[in-house]
Amino acid sequence: MSQEQFINEEKAPEQAWAGTGAAQDEVVAVKAEEGDPAPEGAVAEPARARTKPKRPVYREGVDFDPAFLVPAEADELFALMRSQPFADNRVSYGPQVFPAPRRSNAWRDRYAWATNPQPEPTAIRSLRLRLSERYGVPFNSVQCNWHEGSSEVRAHDDPYRVVAMVRLGVTRTFEVGEQRRNGGGNFRPYPMPHGSLITFLSGGLAHRMFADPTAGDCVSLVFRLVTTPQTVASWHDKPTYSRTRGAHRRLYDAAVSEYREARAKAPESAKAHESPSTTGANNWTR
């Protein structure tokens, strides 16, 4: 992977996203299976299919800011995370991607067990809106993972578009590789100190973290825009894999376009106080 494919400098919000593309498509609906959970806040299928919405333009590569939060902000947020009710090293706010089936959680009610959803604290909401503005994506989901020194993250990738992660606690090295379609190799290390930010601007980037028994604790806060097809068990069904992924991409693009259009029209004085204005993207905040 060439050096140019990685973006390693902080951009202002208006630089991070601008304009929309000319490519067009239709939105299709995917029905949840009977008995599937219906988390609040996921970007859902519209009552009527939208006709050929414009597809938004996204940046590519990685955005890395080792000092995204000032020390006082990072310390306050880390203290907040220590007070949260982690279960199995996880706590989450908002809709979550349905957990992949494993022997340890292979039942249809595993959603709540594996994601541990909780009411969103004010500080987390503020950070979520701040990142939404930075990237022009109405994030509606926060997944928090507590890592001890022995914790590792096996190489994997998120299926589509922008995923932001804020790291709190001790410095751990996160590695990011190529697109899976290109082999997923050529990993590049990103040492992530307390208060750092790394964002995958394009889906499919492989990433991982090796265990370090000498390291202390840290927390990763992962911000996503989650759509309804992702929140049900059928998300992992191979027979409908292409259809559900296609529906997710269309709903995702429609939500991003709606958010960017609303932000472009909003007065500058109001933007700092507004939530992401997209269908179903912020209804779960308590």
Could you report the per-residue pLDDT of 190-234, keeping only the tens digit for each?
Answer: 999 999 999 988 777 777 888 788 888 999 999 999 999 888 878
Asked whether residue 241 carries a pLDDT value surpassing 70, the answer given is yes
pLDDT digits (tens, 9 = 90+) for 67-119: 999 999 999 999 999 999 998 889 999 999 887 765 454 444 556 666 789 99
- CA dihedral (136, 223, 9, 186) in degrees, to 10, reads -120
Average pLDDT over residues 21-44: 48
Residue 144 lies inside a defined structural domain of this protein: yes
Number of domains in the chain: 1
Residue 123 lies inside a defined structural domain of this protein: yes
Radius of gyration for the chain, computed over Cα atoms and rounded to the nearest angstrom: 18
Residue 280 lies inside a defined structural domain of this protein: no
- Nearest 5 degrees, angle CA 237-CA 243-CA 246? 120
Residue 11 lies inside a defined structural domain of this protein: no
C-alpha distances in Å from residue 74, one per residue of 62, 142, 168, 262: 21, 17, 7, 30
**Which CATH number characterizes residue 79's domain?**
2.60.120.590
Residue 99 lies inside a defined structural domain of this protein: yes
- Three-state secondary structure call for residue 271: helix
**Sign of torsion over alpha carbons 175, 58, 50, 43:** positive
Under the banding of pLDDT at 50, 70 and 90, the label for residue 286 is: very low
Residue 122 lies inside a defined structural domain of this protein: yes
CB 166 within 8 A of CB 68: yes
Print the domain residue range for 207. Answer: 59-265
Residue 180 lies inside a defined structural domain of this protein: yes
pLDDT digits (tens, 9 = 90+) for 161-174: 899 999 999 998 88
CA–CA gap between residue 67 and residue 85 (Å, rounded): 27
Residue 7 lies inside a defined structural domain of this protein: no
